[in-house]
Amino acid sequence: MYSDFKKFLQTEIEEIKNAGLYKGERIIVSAQGAVIKLENGKEVLNFCANNYLGLANNKQLVDAAKEALDTHGYGMASVRFICGTSDLHKKLEAKIAEFFGTEDTILYAACFDANGGVFEPLLGEEDAIISDSLNHASIIDGVRLCKAQRYRYANADMQDLEKQLQEAQKNRFRLIVTDGVFSMDGNVAPLDKILALAEKYNSMVMVDESHSAGVVGETGRGVTELFNKRGEVEIITGTLGKAFGGAIGGFTTGKKEVIDMLRQRSRPYLFSNSIPPLVAAAGVKMVEMMSSTNELQDKLHFNTKYFIDKMNKLGFDIKPTQSAICAVMLYDAKLSQDFAAALQEEGIYVTGFYYPVVPKDTARIRVQLSAAHEVEHLDKAIAAFEKIGKKLNVLK
């Protein structure tokens, strides 16, 4: 049978390539950081990692991980409830709850698993999930695994959300679900308005803080801090793979009973391995660092404002953003690819996105700022953008 299947796959892959959608991998031979070394020996400035706080190669985190390797070994070789729970896992769960002002936390191997395992154990067919149309793929998949009735509202559109909530009044329990920061535009969910509607229409709220934790809010507590609503949403999910060190791991944090039920019934928690103790140890260190000083959060906020202000002054079309994501709008798909390639020639590493990753005719280059960037890095990137922008005639 495989020879037929092979032909089938080859044809499909060819079609992906012909559509210009084939995803390759760019190989990095150094640690993740502001400056990275590529396989060809070239060093480039990195503006497309989720390394918002620059912790991916932070000395204190590396040391904490090394120490845990010596005290706790390499892996747990078990799921949490059999014999896969170490003191470091419990410590990290408590630290994350403290950080977000929530009651309890459950760790997962990734936020993809946290989202995949959050809905099905909590809600049934009498219930409603009301989901933002731009929510992350893992939320979409998680909702698919749950029998609850599905409602969708246009991105951050409060009129549409209200309409969906009215329809969902017939359901038993309601849960509004939103990303904290939407990764393609960098806009934040209007959490103050969402919570007001949740109150009016008797609904619960879940926020995925993957792109906002460590980034948004004065001390990086995410959108609940930005809108002064800490502790007010029932469920928060997030990742250890972005601002929080960039290794691996995810979590759900929130109301005590919710977390308790997830420990009983959430399948990615029950049937998948614990995160390595060294990752938990570095995570504990990460929360301690972020709580003892605001240096990294301040630097990220400074860098973001610096970069965006200068890009706006140059005449680039920048999507309004409240995060460390800066979408430089080019609209044309080919232009976005040419622009990104030209930037790479200048030693600036970014990604151009176009349909179907973003809506048709809204191609863009997504720049992600980091506390790892120094002003000289930002200046170099801005100069390269200016040079290519003039050459390709995109400045206003």
183 binds ligand PLP (CB under 6 A): yes
Stretch that binds ligand PLP, among 205-213, 282-290, 352-360, 370-378 (CB under 6 A): 205-213
Which of 136, 229, 285, 364 forms a contact with ligand PLP (CB under 6 A)? 136
327 forms part of the interface with ligand PLP (CB under 6 A)? no
Near ligand PLP by CB under 6 A: residue from 112, 244, 316, 339: 112
Stretch binding ligand PLP (CB under 6 A), from 30-38, 70-78, 106-114, 357-365? 106-114
- Provide the token pair at 359: 């809506």
Shortest gap between Cβ of 89 and ligand PLP (angstroms)? 16
Catalytic residue list = 183, 211, 242
CB of 276 to ligand PLP, least distance (A): 14
Shortest Å, Cβ 275 to ligand PLP = 10
Name which of 120 and 335 has its Cβ closer to ligand PLP: 120
Residue 283 binds to ligand PLP (criterion: CB under 6 A) = no
User: Which residue type occupies 376?
Assistant: E
Establish if 241 lies at the interface with ligand PLP (CB under 6 A). yes
Nearest approach, Cβ of residue 368 and ligand PLP (Å):
12
Binding status of residue 250 toward ligand PLP by CB under 6 A: yes
Shortest distance (Å) from residue 111 CB to ligand PLP: 3
In 3D space, the residue among 163, 210, 170 whose CA is nearest the CA of residue 188 turns out to be: 210
Taking the CA atoms of residue 145, residue 135, residue 109 and residue 65 in that order, the dihedral angle to the nearest 10 degrees is -170
Cβ proximity of 236 and 209 under 8 Å: yes
Q: Is 239 in the site for ligand PLP (CB under 6 A)?
A: yes
- Rounded Cα distance between 215 and 210, Å, is 10
Which residues in 340-359 contact ligand PLP (CB under 6 A)?
none
- What letter does residue 170 receive in the DSSP assignment? G
| Nearer residue to ligand PLP within complex by CB, 323 or 362 | 323
Report the sign of the C-alpha dihedral through residues 113, 141, 204, 236, in that order: positive
Strands (E) across the chain are located at 35-37, 43-46, 104-108, 128-132, 149-153, 174-179, 204-208, 235-239, 250-254, 325-331, 348-349, 351-353, 363-368
| Assigned token pair, 227 | 């809108």
Size of the site for ligand PLP (CB under 6 A): 14
Task: Tell which residue, 220, 165, 154, has the closest CA to residue 189.
Answer: 154
Query: Residue 235: which residues within 8 A CB-CB, separation 6 or more?
Result: 118, 175, 204, 205, 206, 207, 252, 253, 254, 255, 258
Q: Which stretch binds ligand PLP (CB under 6 A): 41-49, 104-112, 259-267, 312-320?
A: 104-112
93, 127, 185, 208: residue in contact with ligand PLP (rule CB under 6 A): 208
Among 80, 89, 174, 211, binds ligand PLP (CB under 6 A): 211
> How are strands ordered across the β-sheet holding 363-368?
325-331, 363-368, 351-353
Q: Which of 53, 111, 300, 372 binds ligand PLP (CB under 6 A)?
A: 111
User: Which residues are at the interface with ligand PLP (CB under 6 A)?
Assistant: 110-112, 115, 136, 138, 179, 183, 208, 210-211, 239, 241, 250
